Structure formats: C-alpha cells, structure tokens
Amino acid sequence: MPFTLPDGLPPGRFVPCGPVRLWVSAAFPEDAEGLWPRLPAEAAAHGLVPLLCRPDTLRSPLDPDRVAAVRLEDELAADFAEYRRRRLPFWTDPTPVPAPEGIEPWPHDPGPPFKQWPGLAPRMPDTPAGRTPEEAASFLFAELIRTGRPRREDCRLVLVPARRSGDALALTGWSAEAPLPLLCALAHSWEDRFGARVVAVLGSELHLSVARPPVTADQAELLALEHVLSTADNIVDDPPTPFPEYAANLLDRPSWSFWWD
C-alpha cells in the first residue's frame, strides 16, 4: 500500500520493488539541499528513510529475516581467518610487487596487526559538541552534491518504508557484487556504534555518513578491519593502500565510501 508522504516533496511516483513500494522522485529535486535536512529528522514520524539513488540500482528486496540471521561477529571471525590465510604471504614479504614501466611500485602492506579476530570496534559515545546522525547525513548529502560526485540527471530521491537505513539498503535490493546480508548487518551495527547512516547508493558505490567516528588509533584499526571484511574493492586493494594508512584515515572521518567492481 502507498504510505503517507512528507509535505513539500517534488513530483514523483510509487514504484514497486518486490513486495514493497518505494517513492521515487521524477527527477533530481531542484531544492535537494534544502529538502534533505528535514527528511532524516522526520523519518521516525513517517516511517520513511531517504536515500540518494540511481534508479537502475533498485532491484528485488532482500528478506529482512536474512539480515537478522547474520551472526555478525561469528561471520567476521571466520572471514578474517580466511582473509589472513590468503594474504599473510604478501604481508610478510616486503618485496615490491612488479609494476609496469613508469609506474611507482605499490607500497608494501603489512596488513592488520591481528593474528585472530579481535572483536568489533567499540561504540563511540555521544558528545555535546558532535553532530547528530541526522546532521551528519545532511552534511554528507550536501558534500556529494557540491562535489558533483553523482551527476544530478542520474540520481533520484527515494523514500523507503523502513525503520533504519540498513533496512532501506536491504529493501532496495541493491547489491553491486556486495554480500548484501552481511553489509546490511554491518550497517545496523555501525549505526548503533558510530551513528552511521546510509545516504547514497550510486551504481556500485555506497556512501555512509558518520556522526561518531573513531578517535584513537586502536579504535580505527578495529574499524578498518571491519571495512576490509566488507569485501569492498576500494578498501586497501584499489587503490592499494597499506592497512595502517587506511586505518589512520578513519580517525575523525565524517563519512565512509565503498565500491565494488
């Protein structure tokens, strides 16, 4: 059934996506930067999560029961054991990987400083001076638009009947070669621990805002390992970024971006 929409939306229509119906704007909203900030704040009242999407990413929804069935720590522990087994020979060999003529050799990656799964990164506390999750989401949305990261003509505002942005990711059916049940479970956990929100799904790219990023090196290393185990191609491997450098870049970072080939 169609749901009650917030006031002041641009022209749009309801679109079936499996058993659910999404509201999709007819074009990129002209007043997008003015409209977006009030949508996350009204999500609880309307039961709708806003996303910036490309229409071709809307596919068959993932059953929420599959996300609920993910035993996150157990799955990540098993994934890390396999990942470490495959990558350890590269981490322990500092010999530069051969590169084409005229290309600088890739830097050596020593890998994560863990021999076994270290557990999830701790929850970051709220601070009076920090952004709220809604403010962080609005900041990222404005930044994506300002930088022209998505072409306006390619994007639409989508409202998803969901309680959390991780659920919205599942209900759009987006995957882009990503392990969607695991990724949605991570999104739920990141929302609880870091005030993260899924803001944009642009082709194979996923963009999340972060209200409470890690502030110490130990916290950032634990989080960086979770990012690695998301299987995203841009984490560590492309461009080739040594694990310690990637982890350091997560300190106080207000957004995270992932993409898959």
Asked if residue 44 belongs to a domain, the reply is yes
pLDDT of residue 10: 93
Confidence of residue 238 (pLDDT cuts 50, 70, 90): low
Asked if residue 198 belongs to a domain, the reply is yes
151: Cβ–Cβ under 8 A, 6 or more apart, which residues?
none
| CB-based contact 64:173 (threshold 8 Å) | no
Q: Decide which of 66 and 238 is more confident.
A: 66
pLDDT of residue 150: 74
pLDDT tens column, 184-227 = 999 999 999 999 999 999 888 999 999 999 999 999 999 999 99
Asked if residue 93 belongs to a domain, the reply is no
pLDDT tens column, 145-185 = 888 777 888 899 999 999 899 999 999 988 778 899 999 99
Q: Residue 29: count other Cβ atoms within 10 Å of its Cβ.
A: 21
Alpha-carbon distance of 41 to 65, in angstroms, equals 27
Question: For 20-29, what is the mean pLDDT?
Answer: 92
User: Is a pLDDT exceeding 80 seen at residue 6?
Assistant: yes
Asked if residue 38 belongs to a domain, the reply is yes
Structure tokens that stand for 65 in this block:
């029961």
Q: Which CA distances in Å does 254 have to 13, 45, 176, 195, 202?
A: 32, 26, 24, 10, 19
DSSP label at 115?
A: S
pLDDT of residue 203: 87
- Single-letter amino acid, residue 156: R
DSSP label at 259?
A: E
pLDDT tens column, 106-130 = 888 999 999 999 999 999 998 888 8
pLDDT tens column, 58-107 = 878 888 889 999 999 999 999 999 999 999 998 998 887 777 777 777 88
User: Is a pLDDT exceeding 60 seen at residue 1?
Assistant: no
Asked if residue 91 belongs to a domain, the reply is no
pLDDT of residue 49: 93
* Residue listed under structure tokens 């996303």: 51
pLDDT of residue 168: 92
pLDDT of residue 228: 96
**Domain carrying residue 162:** 15-69+117-259
> Residue 174 in 3-state DSSP?
coil
Structure tokens that stand for 191 in this block:
């929302």
In what helix (H) or strand (E) does residue 46 lie, and over which residues does it extend? helix 38-46
Confidence of residue 255 (pLDDT cuts 50, 70, 90): very high
| CB-based contact 212:149 (threshold 8 Å) | no
Asked if residue 83 belongs to a domain, the reply is no
pLDDT of residue 135: 93
What is the number of structural domains in the chain? 1
Using a 10 angstrom Cβ sphere, with 0-12 exposed, 13-18 middle and 19 or more buried, the burial of residue 261 is exposed
Asked if residue 111 belongs to a domain, the reply is no
Asked if residue 57 belongs to a domain, the reply is yes
